[in-house]
Structure 1
């Protein structure tokens, strides 16, 4: 806990921010939000949460990779995926103090997604494991 506050154990305010993919998707051939604007927004939110008197801890859960699935199933992506989604995840990691990486290794996400975008039960379980480890004080970056 920060700022000398005294609270009972387990009574803290924790904020998790889970970044999504919409900013990295293309609109008119360009990302909807530039990586610079994405990075700046993440850094600003990180600073705000770090200084907020009611927030004891916060972390950013990284992006899952966008996957092109074989057989025509899933969401259609161009050849820039998963590279572009990974670049945004890397930008997030560089911009914030606590980034809970989940994207790599990319190949494991073929079993963790329903459609190349949305996690299935295994994907949600993996993300939950990362968050649980962070809450327990493990794997801070």
Structure 2
């Protein structure tokens, strides 16, 4: 399954388009700061920020919690940041790359693709509190 890099790439291209005129005008400090800001934004939108996505079919097989997400979703990013290392205790399913994952989210949310959606113990939770998710993941050690 390919990981989606288009949003991160777009952020880098825009960052370069904004920073290069600053560099040409001799404003190296401003251009450097702008480039760093867009690089951080690109990283936060890249698949590197999230654990490797697996297919929804495989994610449901071993009983670990499943977190459905999509690139660019600020609520997914918030959840990922707040989970820290505990994020690797769950399977992450990118609904843009996995049609079965998108269908599972639509079934749980009444037809919408609202993410993050967490499937845990036969129940689904839409945009749950990151502290609650972290506690559930730590309980499953």
What TM bracket, shorter-length normalisation?
under 0.3
Larger radius of gyration: 2
Query: TM-score w.r.t. structure 1 length?
Result: 0.26
Tell me which protein shows more helix as a share of its residues: 2
Normalising by structure 2, we get a TM-score of 0.26
